[in-house]
């Protein structure tokens, strides 16, 4: 202890701290402190004032893009020491170090999570125990609202942090698979999700904003081999959507008040008498938001495949109740009913049909995921499958009505349907064979015989047998296949939004 005391006194007396030498001193101090005994309360208490002065001076001299792992190691040792009453004086300095780290430095997600977890467990007052977690969330929220610009790797790390605290996980390509599994296995709450709840409206605005991905792309700072400008924005949206989906799930088992609070339009779609230009634009926005939310939910199920009808102890992601199926179908119907007329009024409306079919695809697989949680042929399982059939029973007439406008439009719809069927086939959807008879009139609306390439694609779908209904295999989706499908869909959704955003800005000029 005396050695640490003398070192800090000497450093604190100096008027300037050379960055390279001080980083070496911090590294040596971290190695030394990790070997100190944690028994003497008085000796540790005497160090707190010196550390507070040292940390405040240190922030002013650390260079950008430095590795703060040794500094975090010192902070972890201090949080484990027995002088808990004296630790509160360091929380402000800790928060400033974390803010600096997130905005300008490099860190290890495991260390940041452990810091927040230790503070959460060490202190008793909410203001103190949540101080570090609140600091992390404030920095993340400011970055999501584009008030500050932080390194791309740090931004995706923070989203991953909140996802893990909520019980989820995002892209396995950016993070070490074994490290993520260890983090989840040994995880103790940090209170980060608790702090994030105050910013849920901002999260929904982030995934719903048409221009989010364009802003992320323009603010991208680079420097990471695993991130690029074409995927970072969609990865962030999918991660934030997963956080929202898990938060909705935690309250949806009681009632729909949380969903109604944040998505007040979900159960109140426009009536047939209200389907004008404004309703068309609003429905596009709602369909896009729902698509990201469902993508986040399905990504959680694929990335954390610990649940099944035989495992009731794991975290699931079911943010939207199946009783919303008919209302979601009505939102899609608004786009189908108005597309022929409204799509020609603006280039921005031309992709609305694509968004509608993406939502249909995601909702179908979401219902299948719901069925996966129940025993095959049980009431819950059958209810989920019936929700799929009822959904398409409502949407299909709108599609048929759209086909009547022109042969060109019919060809376009056929391509959407073939892509939809191929995606359901890829994911081993048990509902696909049941839906094919309903969809046949669409494919053959203008053809007694389909064109060659279309016929080949359809025949490939028809030649694949439905998944086995025995031994529970109907619900045992291949996670790797689902992850691949979701990644492709995530990229597609991101690219459409970037193009749409760029087009709107060009037209505004």
Q: What is d(CA 351, CA 84) in angstroms, rounded to the nearest whole number? A: 58
User: Which residue matches tokens 């604190």?
Assistant: 12
- For residue 83, pLDDT over 60 is answered with yes
pLDDT at 263: 95
User: What's residue 145's pLDDT?
Assistant: 95
Angle, CA of 227, 239 and 101, to the nearest 5°: 65
pLDDT digits (tens, 9 = 90+) for 342-381: 877 676 678 899 999 999 999 999 998 888 777 777 888 8
**Percent of the chain scoring above 90 in pLDDT:** 50
**Under 8 Å between Cβ of 454 and 418:** yes
Residue 273's H or E segment, with its range, is none
- In angstroms, what CA-CA distances link 283 with 7, 204, 394? 64, 16, 16
Rg (CA), the chain: 27
Q: What is the number of residues in the chain? A: 509
Segment 502-508 shows an average pLDDT of: 64
What angle (nearest 5°) sits at the alpha carbon of residue 363, between those of residues 359 and 368?
Answer: 150
Half-sphere exposure of residue 349: CA atoms within 13 angstroms, side-chain side? 19
Find the Cα–Cα–Cα–Cα dihedral 290, 293, 294, 295, rounded to 10°.
120
pLDDT at 59 over 60: yes
pLDDT of 455: 82
| pLDDT of residue 509 exceeding 50 | no
pLDDT exceeds cutoff 50 at 470: no
**Rounded distance between C-alpha atoms, residue 423 and residue 368, angstroms:** 13
Write down the H helix ranges in 167-231: 177-185, 192-196, 200-208, 212-219
pLDDT averaged over every residue in the chain: 86
Would you say residue 19 has pLDDT above 90?
no
Q: Give, in degrees to the nearest 5, the angle at Cα 445 between 285 and 333.
A: 20
């Amino acid at each position: 202890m005396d050695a640490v005391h003398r070192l800090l006194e000497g450093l604190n007396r100096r008027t300037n701290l050379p960055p390279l030498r001080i980083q070496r001193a911090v590294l040596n101090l971290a190695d030394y402190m990790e070997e100190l005994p944690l028994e003497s309360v008085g000796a540790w208490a005497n160090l707190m004032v010196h550390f507070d002065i040292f940390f405040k001076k240190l922030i002013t001299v650390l260079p950008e893009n430095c590795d703060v792992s040794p500094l975090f190691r010192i902070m972890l040792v201090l949080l484990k020491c027995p002088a808990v009453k004296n630790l509160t004086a360091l929380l402000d300095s800790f928060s400033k170090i974390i803010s600096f780290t997130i905005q300008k430095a490099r860190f290890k997600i495991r260390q940041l999570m452990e810091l927040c977890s230790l503070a959460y467990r060490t202190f008793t007052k909410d203001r103190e125990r949540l101080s570090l977690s609140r600091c992390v969330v404030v920095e993340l929220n400011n970055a999501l609202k584009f008030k500050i610009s932080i390194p791309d790797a740090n931004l995706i790390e923070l989203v991953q942090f909140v996802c893990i605290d909520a019980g989820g996980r995002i892209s396995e390509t950016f993070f070490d698979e074994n490290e993520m599994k260890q983090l989840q296995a040994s995880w103790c709450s940090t209170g980060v999700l608790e702090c994030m709840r105050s910013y849920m409206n901002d999260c929904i605005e982030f995934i719903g904003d048409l221009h989010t991905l364009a802003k992320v792309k323009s603010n991208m700072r680079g420097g990471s081999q695993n991130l690029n400008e074409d995927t970072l924005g969609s990865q962030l949206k999918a991660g934030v959507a997963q956080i929202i989906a898990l938060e909705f799930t935690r309250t949806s088992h009681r009632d729909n008040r949380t969903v109604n609070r944040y998505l007040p339009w979900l159960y109140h779609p426009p009536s047939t008498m209200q389907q004008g230009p404004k309703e068309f634009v609003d429905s596009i926005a709602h369909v896009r938001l729902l698509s990201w939310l469902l993508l986040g939910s399905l990504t959680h199920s694929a990335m954390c495949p610990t649940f099944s009808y035989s495992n009731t102890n794991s975290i699931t992601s079911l943010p939207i109740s199946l009783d919303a199926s008919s209302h979601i179908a009505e939102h899609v119907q608004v786009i189908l009913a108005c597309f022929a007329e409204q799509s020609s009024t603006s280039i921005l409306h031309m992709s609305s049909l694509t968004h509608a079919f993406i939502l249909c695809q995601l909702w179908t697989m979401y219902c299948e995921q719901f069925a996966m949680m129940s025993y095959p042929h049980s009431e819950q399982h059958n209810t989920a499958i019936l929700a799929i059939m009822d959904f398409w029973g409502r949407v299909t007439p709108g599609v048929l009505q759209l086909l009547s406008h022109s042969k060109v439009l019919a060809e376009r719809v056929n391509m959407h349907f073939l892509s939809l069927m191929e995606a359901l086939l890829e994911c081993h959807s048990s509902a696909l064979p049941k839906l094919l008879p309903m969809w046949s009139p669409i494919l053959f609306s203008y053809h007694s015989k389909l064109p060659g390439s279309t016929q080949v694609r359809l025949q490939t779908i028809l030649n694949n047998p439905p998944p086995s209904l025995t031994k529970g295999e109907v619900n045992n989706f291949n996670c790797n296949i689902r992850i691949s499908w979701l990644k492709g869909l995530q990229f597609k959704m991101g690219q459409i939004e970037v193009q749409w955003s760029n087009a709107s800005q060009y037209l505004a000029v």
